[in-house]
Amino acid sequence: MIVKKKIILASRSPRRQTLLRQLGLDFIVIESGIDEDLDHIKIPIDHVTILSQEKAAAVAKGVENGFVIGADTIVVLDKEILGKPENEKDAFTMLSKLSGRTHEVYTGFTILDRPSNKFITDYEITKVTFRQLAANEIHEYIQSGSPMDKAGAYGIQDDYGAVFVEKIDGCFYNVVGFPLTKFYLAMEVFQKELGLLYE
């Protein structure tokens, strides 16, 4: 993937970092420090796109030249937004709700250019179906500590949470935390708009 400027990832998520490296990209990480608690924004698409923009904008203030990437992922079940669990009890409640049900994973991302401050924002939605989970399975998973930094209290890519998933409909990488195909295409379009890449 050809990117004509240095990349700054406004996220400490190890999963997003791994996915960007999968595209062969070099980047530095600067955490945004943005409060992710946007309970007042009930529309999932607005929630993830606005938060991705705020994260990118916060980090961009300290960047003279480059692309700043912000992203946010949430899990939505019956119109209820499930972010990262606050504690183990919260994680148990989330996973119990997801058990035997189909939910949606939303990820919004923003690429913000410095110094022009132009940006592009997009999002992806993936449907995920869980098999029926036993209470002891949920407790065992929580004891591993893995759910505590993940939206919806589970990870699909590199831990025990993978065996909870019966099927997915849509982009797998979106469930991991970053929709690679959408990002790749958006970066190409954005660089052409900025005159950095040519048809």
Do the Cβ atoms of 48 and 70 come closer than 8 Å?
no
Distance CA 23, CA 15 (A): 13
Catalytic residue flag (residue 72): yes
- Given the residues 72, 90, 122, 158, the one annotated as active site: 72
Residues facing residue 28 across a β-bridge: 8
Omega cis (within 30) before 14: no
Distance from C-alpha of 39 to C-alpha of 62, rounded to nearest angstrom: 28
Q: Whole-angstrom Cα distance, residue 18 to residue 75?
A: 21
- Residues annotated as catalytic (active site), given as ranges: 72
